[in-house]
Structures are given as structure tokens and as C-alpha cells.
Chains A and B, each alone.
Chain A
Amino acid sequence: MAKILIPTPLRQFTGGADAVEFGGANVAEVLGALVAAHPELKKNLYNEEGKLRSFVNIYVNDEDIRYLSKDSTAVAAGDTISIIPSIAGGCL
């Protein structure tokens, strides 16, 4: 099982949970299990073609998957997957 850290803006789609655990051999499988369990997350993470949205960054531990093997990046038990979405707030 890998731990997925859910950022504040997306917690409304995970019943308020800030971290959830799902299994899978790679990022695509783990995130697939995540959106299967929380279908409303899908439109926030994936575009119409089923690709990860470009304003959503996925990290395995402290490394961006864009610089690993994208969504086929291997995930081991105990790894932490972070979803880092754009936030713009500075509250003028």
C-alpha cells in the first residue's frame, strides 16, 4: 500500500481525509484505485482524454514523476504519493 496525501482543495472529494492508502505497482494503478474509490476526484486529476491534467503535479516521495517514468513510475509499499495542485491565493 502507498500513502496518498490529499491537498486541501481536493479533500472535499475524499470525505475530508487528508491521506488515503491504496495499492498498485505504479502511479497509474494507485491513482486508478484512488479515483475508483472517489469518482469525483477524476475530473480534477484527469482531462477528457484520460491524461493527468497539466496543472496537477504528482510526486513519488520528493520527486516529480515527470522526471521519473511519468505515470508508469514504480510505487513500492510505504512510498508517499503527493498530489500538488495549483493554488493562487495570496488574499489581497
Chain B
Amino acid sequence: MPVSVTLSNEEIARYSRHLILPEVGMEGQLKLKQAKVLLVGTGGLGAPLGLYLAAAGIGKIGLVDFDVVDASNLQRQVIHGTKDIGRKKIDSAAETMLDINPNLEIVKHEVPLTSENAVEIVKQYDIVADGTDNFPTRYLVNDACVLLGKPNVYGSIFRFEGQSSIFATEDGPCYRCLYPEPPPPGLVPSCAEGGVLGILPGVVGLIQATEVVKLILGKGTTLNGRLMLYDALNMKFRELKLRRNPECPSGKCSVVKGLIDYQQFCGIPATPAEPVAATGDLEPAQVKHMIDSGEDFMLVDVREPHEYQIASIPKATLIPLGQLPNRLSELPREARIVCHCKSGVRSGKAVDLLKQNGYTRVSNMKGGILAWSDKVDPSVAKY
């Protein structure tokens, strides 16, 4: 440790509860001050990570995000406030963190993490905390950490359930030891589709923050080699053993040789597909016209019942996407059918499914009920 690093009197006052804790003390606090941590994402998991790591006295924190704050984020992303709606998340997060602790150095990486830039970004840090929300970026973060030998503090959430662990330590398992391959697109719903309890990412993000601090201090027993599962609905924590792939020698991975095309690896087309093929798409205004003119067609809402309760279009018949394969008998084969969902993605899948089952007169309503609210009927709530 360079002798030049010291704490100012302001810092000594600020960190006094750490300094009198034997496991941290002056030595530990100076380690925190010299630590460089990269937060990938400043959303549900990144919010508590950012707040507490800033407060704890980490010297340098890099933020990766290129999203803007939306009203629907505020239920869980507590690093952003109502005044920040429409602002860049990276700016809003940095402002909050510097307000908590002006001693902090923040580096903004306002880009999507890609195979081209990941190594360049990750190598500037000691530890990575993964707060992303999709499989391609999870594998990318993992592989970059494996290649560079940086610990990857992992957290993931869905509805009421969270997972956390530490990957890519020298002799520990990595994300690919747990999940060698990603699930095919569509089989695992996202938070946007499946919902999430707003408090859940707070708990999981703080498990990650705890592990980041322990790794820096070199104290305690970390989650290296263990997968922590948290079930908020039943308030249960469980842990499972994680093992390193037996084919991987110490300090090396037998699978990750370099960064790859993660979209392709996860089965996602290289150019992001439009929610549906352009043929047959209808604007909400066109659907409104069909309703008003008494046209003979079925409007099928493929969202979940709890979404239907929040907002719906009067003519629509509710058949959740997951039930559609078993409820085709309710839809006459020759009928003119228009599908809609929240934003047009699930209804696009429904249109594909109907076409595969011999339906020919099917369309997707572009932009879903959100676009309906914007363009046709503002009294329909957006969620």
C-alpha cells in the first residue's frame, strides 16, 4: 500500500463507525479508498450498490449505463428520484452518489457494454458488480471478468426471487460453470414481462455490495463457490454449492477463449427483430377505426390477467400468451384477429404462433396498449 494514501480529518469523521470496527479499521478503510469497482447498470441492482458503495468510501466507481430514467423505474431504482425522470441514469446516479460522498471519483461509461469495449472498460477496475438485466450482457460480463481475472459479483432477480454469488475468482466457478448455455429466447420472461417486487433488487443488490466490500477488505467468508437464493415471498434464504468446471485448470477457464457475439450466442438475431414482421402490423388508430366501423374481427389481449386489471381495451378478449397454445379452440381459424399486449413484443409472438397454427388473417397492434394510450385513448393508464 502506498504510504501517501491517508484519510483527511473529514474522512476520519465520516468513516468513524468503520474505523472503530476491528474488521475494517484504518487499514481496511484505506483499502476501500484505493479500490476501483465497476457497476454494470444503474437500475434495480445498481441503485443500492451505488448508494452503499459510495457511502462506504470506495475510492473510484465506474458506472456503465446508457438508459434514461422512466417513471416505471422509480418503484425500485432508488438512486433516481421523481425529478430525474427523462434524465440520463448515469448522470442521475452520479449526482446522488456524489451528494452522499464527495470524496468519490466517478467514471461514466455511457455506452452499452459490448464485445468491442468490455475488456478496455473492465480492465480499469479491481472488481465488477453485475447489475444487468439480460443474458447476452451477463455472459459478456462473465467472460470479460474471466479473461481479465477480475471477480464478478453477481446478482439476479425475478418477481420475488433473487440469486447472488461471486464468479471468476482465481480458483472459483464462473457463470458458465453454473449455466453453461443460455436459455433460448422466449422461455424465460424478463422483469418487464414478469414484474418484480420493488424491494427485491434492494436486498439482492445489498448482498452484492456486502460481497464487494468483503472482497476488498479480504475479510469473512464470501459467496465464492456458493449460490445464495432468496425467496422474498416466503422470506427464505438458501444456499447451494457451486463448483468450478472440473476441466478448468487453476487460474484458467477451459471454455472462455475470447469475447464472442453474445447476441448470437443467446439466439437473438443480429439485427434486433421488430416486434413482428412488418406485414400485417396495424397502428392503434387503425384498430380504433375497425372497432368504430363495426368491422368483424377479434381483438385478443395476450397479457396477464393482473395487467388486464390495470388497463384494458373494452373490445378485447383476454388470452395470456402462455395459455394461447391450449386455447386455440376459442379462436375460429378463419377469423380476422388482431393481437395486442403492453408494447407489442408478446403480441408479436402470439401472431407468429397463430400463423404457425394455420391462422392467416392475423395482425399485431404496434406498440401495444402503451401506444393505444398515447395515440387513441389517453384515459387508458400506462404502467
Contact = CB atoms under 8 A, between A and B. Distances in A.
Interface in A36-90: 44, 53-55, 57, 59, 62-64, 66-67, 82, 84-90
B41 interface: yes
B216 interface: no
Interface string A4-46: 0001110010000010000000000000000000000000100
B240 A87 contact: no
A82 B240 contact: yes
Contact-residue size bin, chain A (C-beta under 8 Å from the other chain): 20 to 34
Contacts of A92: 41-44, 46, 65, 67, 89, 131-133
B36 interface: no
Contacts, number: 113
Contacts of A44: 187
B85 to A, nearest CB: 15
A59 B46 contact: no
B200 to A, nearest CB: 9
B188 A86 contact: yes
B241 A91 contact: no
A44 B186 CA distance: 11
B28 interface: no
A50 to B, nearest CB: 17
Given A7-B161, A64-B243, A89-B190, A55 B182 contact: yes
A64 B132 CA distance: 25
A81 to B, nearest CB: 12
Interface stretch (B150-158, B347-355, B357-365): B150-158
Nearest to B137: A88
B251 to A, nearest CB: 21
B346 interface: no
B179 A62 contact: no
B188 A9 contact: yes
Nearest to A85: B188
A57 B179 contact: yes
Contacts of B196: 89, 91
Interface in B294-321: none
Contact of B160 (A8, A54, A63): A8
A91 B189 CA distance: 12
Contacts of A12: 322
Given A9-B194, A90-B201, A91-B44, A54 B188 contact: no
B156 A62 contact: no
B76 interface: yes
B10 to A, nearest CB: 34
Contacts of A53: 183
Contacts of A55: 179-183
B322 A87 contact: no
A64 B45 CA distance: 27
B241 A63 contact: yes
A88 B134 contact: yes
Given A12-B322, A55-B179, A64-B241, A88 B132 contact: yes
21 contacts: A8-B159, A8-B160, A9-B159, A53-B183, A55-B181, A55-B182, A57-B179, A63-B241, A86-B135, A87-B161, A88-B138, A89-B156, A89-B194, A90-B41, A90-B44, A90-B130, A90-B133, A91-B44, A91-B192, A91-B196, A92-B131
Given A87-B161, A88-B188, 11 more contacts: A8-B159, A18-B233, A55-B183, A87-B157, A88-B156, A89-B156, A90-B43, A90-B44, A91-B45, A91-B157, A92-B131
Top 5 A-B residue pairs of the complex, sorted by shortest distance between their CB atoms: A91-B44, A92-B43, A89-B191, A90-B133, A87-B158
Interface of B: 41-46, 65, 67, 73, 76-77, 89, 130-135, 138, 155-161, 163, 178-183, 187-192, 194, 196, 201, 227, 229, 231, 233-234, 238-243, 322
